[in-house]
Amino acid sequence: MASLTAWRQGTSPTGAAIHQLTGYVDRWSARAGERIRFMISSAADRAYSLRFVRHLCADPNPEGPGYREIVMPTPLDGQRKGLFHAAHPGSYGRIEALALDGGGLRLSATVWPTLPARGRQTLIAIDVSGVAVRFEVGPHGGTQLRLGAETIAVDAPMLNRRWYAVEAVIDTAGGTLSVTQRPLHPVGTITDSGLGAAKAKLPKIAGTARVLVAAALEGGQIIAHYNGKIERPRIATLNDVTIGEWDFTQGITTQRIIDVGPQAAHGHLVNLPSRAMTGSNWTGAVHDWKSAPEQYGAIHFHADDMGDCGWPEAFTLDVPTDWPSGFYAAHIRNDAGEDYIPFFVRPAKGARKADVAFLVPTFSYQVYSSYQRIERSLEILPRARAWGALLETPGLNPEYGLSTYNYHADGSGVSITSMLRPQLDTRVRQMSLVDPVPTGSGTGRVNCDSYVVDWLDRAGIVHDVLTDHDLHEEGAAAIEPYRVIICAQHPEYHSLRMIEGFERFLDQGGRLMYLGGNGFYWRAEPSAETPHALEVRRAEGGIRVWATEPGESYNQFEGGYGGLLRRVGKASHKLVGIGFSTQGRHLGFPYAFTKGIKNPRVSFMLKGIEDAATPGAKFGDSGFMGGGAAGFELDSTDARYGTPPNALVVAKGIVIHDDYGWVNEDMLIHRHPRPREDWSCADMTFFETASGGAVFSVGSMTYVGSLPPENYGNVCAKLTTNVLRRFMDPAPFR
């Protein structure tokens, strides 16, 4: 990786231009009349211009539906002073004050290193009265103690992902230092234990100390981050009387670390390390940390964890009360770079004007955000330049941390993601991939979801916008005022509170339109203490890039079982009639109407497409996402998982392609239990609820890309508009 200095000067290992101007907001959405804060970093402290825009279509493709923005003037507009702010990845624990009396010290912990050969990595750092004590993993992989000019070490390196009891002793009166390392489960023929000792003239260690766990502060910078688990770090007197001892079994749901010693010198965690981790005493008999917290006394620290960047506020917007609900961005620009920082505006409290609300999947945005794929970054650069699209990607800016679709450097999966950092792949006027179709846009997230906004605007349908975070925070109350909720292209991640909100909405006669694929799939839960953070534990089955370690499938933030919503009784089939069943390349294929389209229950779908809507007739054979309406990730019906018996499939997008395979959670043996055409497909499904409401689901991630062709006058767009207009009609479904 290139040095951060090189990155900030505008160069990268590839020679590609990277951002010089970026930022983030303190919340995903705000109501008209509320306040939203912006944090900005400008390289070399360059000034920049600011304006605000509302987006109707964010696709930068010059052959696409047409980029559409509306400038929204504010008193903040114009030139602003720029300041550079760095990002500082790496998690650690910080204790601000611990009193030391000048006697000798005994430092100890139980550790499970994951990159022992990576170089200096701190276990416990003490700074007091100009004296620096560093108990750490040395460059050779064994434990070492550094005090002033003295360094003593265990020669034997520790093994990766194995537990060790480690201790360092400082005898200031006797002038001796020692460090020991003992494996809890020795391996035959391998020597990974040892003792290092030396005599030296030692300074007095007295005063009010700052203590760091898993990192050190040197030269004003946090360095030497540790990778791996630590449990029960302890500082004691030479005769083993506790001075400070941090019990990580306490406060697991929080970012606090609890000192059970006499000083109650509690600390806090920085950059969201992983808690609810199995400790050295985990027996395997219990998998829920709440049932045996004493077996979950470890915290897993990573040198590439990232939480709140902590940048100061650059400006604050009081959202004008006359701004309509919608997709917005702060557009910042100077000669060196530019950025669009997205946010969403809800109606002022009590001022709802629409029957329809578009629910923006910000949980899924955040879970995917900062997905570092350098090969993808390089692939899209030529087309992005040609289109005048944003060039910034996480792969070219690694200092802003990782996505939960990445691995940490030590091979463990990333389970926590923060929104308080630049999310450079969650931007407007941006592509996510090079679409295999020459005229395709390759859009994702905000950009493809803006097709829905564009469609609604062109159809003259007044609507409000709210986010997943709003639904989680307020529960069903966030969506109950609306008659119709539209879910977007890829609403994959939800909390249980959100699913319960949908269930209540439908129980009260609400209407739900699900215009995507791979939705309602994984459970994600935010932290009550640090709501900017989302957690995903990838337990059991599911299409996933990594899996939780044994015993670590329960969330730390709220304690629930992680993984697929199906595994906690909330299969998407029960909610929207269909569920994720196959995925493949970013290619789109047509749907074909089934006999169901002639059922009188769905006659409202046919206005203006009567001649086209015949059983077997194809539609959706063009689009700006893969070239067709059924593709990428598809959902199908399955009565086993809860598809309602009254569900009617009106069209199927069957995809028989070598690259499209089944989801592994459907498999018990090597053969799929259903014929391929029943699972390798997008099932366009409709059903009525007992309360007079209804659900319409399309089951494809490329569907919204097939709304714009023919100026939103194609069969997909007309059918979807017909559904929405009937769903807006208060007459109950019978």
Answer whether 654's CB lies under 8 Å from 679's CB.
no
For 361-370, what is each residue's pLDDT tens digit?
999 999 999 9
Q: Residue 179's Cα: distance from chain center in Å?
A: 40
Question: Are the beta carbons of 402 and 386 closer than 8 angstroms?
Answer: no
Q: Is the pLDDT score of 102 beyond 90?
A: no
Beta bridge partners of 174: none
pLDDT in tens, 605-626: 999 999 999 999 999 999 999 9
The secondary element (H helix, E strand) that includes residue 532 is: none
Q: Give the separation between CA 484 and CA 505, rounded to whole angstroms.
A: 10
Nearest in space to 580 (alpha carbons), one of 491, 458, 457: 491
| pLDDT of the residue at 5 | 37
Q: Are 624 and 705 in contact (CB under 8 A)?
A: yes
Q: Is 617 exposed, middle or buried (0-12, 13-18, 19+ CB in 10 A)?
A: middle
pLDDT of 386? 95
Q: What tens digit of pLDDT does each residue of 665-718 get?
A: 998 889 999 999 999 999 999 999 999 999 999 999 999 999 999 999 999 999
What mean pLDDT is predicted for residues 233-251?
Answer: 98
**Backbone phi, psi, residue 7, to 5°:** -60, -45
Residue 14 clears pLDDT 80, i.e. is over it: no
**Total number of residues shown for the chain:** 734
- What integer pLDDT is reported at residue 172 of this predicted model? 93
Q: ∠ CA 663-665-668 to the nearest 5 degrees?
A: 110
Give dist(CA 575, CA 413) in Å, integer: 29
Share of the chain above pLDDT 70, in %: 97
Which residue do the tokens 């506020």 mark?
313
Per-residue confidence (pLDDT) for residue 652, from 0 to 100: 98
The DSSP secondary structure of 44-86, one letter per residue, reads GG--EEEEEEEEEE----TTSS--EEEE---TT-EEE------
Beta-ladder partners of 463: 356
Q: For the domain 4-83+310-352, what is the CATH code?
A: 2.60.40.1930
Q: Name the DSSP letter for residue 407.
A: B
Q: How far apart are CA 152 and CA 168, in angstroms?
A: 10
| Coil/strand/helix, residue 112 | strand
The pLDDT of residue 2 is 33
Which pairing describes strands 511-514 and 484-487: parallel, antiparallel, or unpaired? parallel
pLDDT at 11 over 50: no
- Look at residue 711 and give its three-state secondary structure: helix
Cβ within 8 Å of residue 350, ≥6 positions away: none
| Sign of the alpha-carbon dihedral angle for 20, 25, 26, 27 | negative
Residue-wise pLDDT tens digits, 568-598: 999 999 999 999 999 999 999 999 999 999 9
The alpha-carbon radius of gyration of the chain (Å, integer) is: 28
Residue 4, pLDDT > 70, answer no
439 exposed, middle or buried (CB, 10 Å; 0-12, 13-18, 19+)?
middle
* E strands in 272-325: 274-277, 298-301, 315-318
Judged against a pLDDT cut of 70, whether residue 15 lies above it is answered with no
AA identity, residue 428: V
Angle subtended by helix axes 715-728 and 446-458, to nearest 10: 70
Q: How confident is the model at residue 218 (pLDDT cuts 50, 70, 90)?
A: very high
Q: Which residues of 19-35 are buried (b: 16+ CB within 10 A; e: fewer)?
A: bbbbbbbbbbbbbbbbe
Are 108 and 236 within 8 A, CB to CB? Answer: yes
Q: How confident is the model at residue 351 (pLDDT cuts 50, 70, 90)?
A: confident
Residue whose C-alpha is closest to residue 140's, from 68, 188, 196, 72:
196
- Mean pLDDT computed over 326-348: 97
> Where are the alpha helices (H) located in 555-706, listed in sequence order?
572-576, 676-679
Find the mean pLDDT for residues 76-83. Answer: 98
Integer Cα distance of 663 and 225 in angstroms: 37
Q: Which residues are 105's β-sheet partners?
A: 170, 237
Neighbours of 350 (CB within 10 A): 7
Kindly report which listed range (14-28, 37-51, 275-289, 481-495) carries the lowest average pLDDT score: 14-28
Give the architecture-level CATH label for domain 92-301: Sandwich (2.60)
Query: Which residue in this structure is represented by tokens 């493809």?
Result: 448
Whole-angstrom distance, CA of residue 637 vs CA of residue 653: 12
The reply to whether the predicted model has a pTM over 0.85 is yes
Residue 3 has pLDDT above 80, yes or no: no
For residues 139 and 121, what is the distance between their CA atoms, to the nearest angstrom? 8
Tell me what pLDDT residue 10 has: 39
Is it the case that residue 314 has pLDDT exceeding 70?
yes
Is residue 498 predicted with pLDDT exceeding 70? yes
Cβ count near 404 (within 10 Å): 26
Q: What are phi and psi of 679, to 5 degrees?
A: -120, -25
Torsion of CA 83, 88, 92, 93, to 10 degrees: 0
**Is there a contact between 652 and 594 (Cβ–Cβ < 8 Å)?**
yes
User: What is the DSSP secondary structure assignment for residue 147, as one 8-state letter?
Assistant: E
CA distance 51 to 494: 33
Element (H, E) at 709: helix 709-712
**What pLDDT band is residue 18 in, cutting at 50, 70 and 90?**
low
What is the model's pLDDT at position 668?
Answer: 87
Mean pLDDT of 469-488: 97
Extents of the domains making up the chain? 4-83+310-352, 92-301, 578-719+727-734
The Cα–Cα gap between 481 and 114 comes to 50
Query: Closest Cα partner for 613 from 589, 591, 635?
Result: 591
Q: What is the pLDDT of residue 462?
A: 97
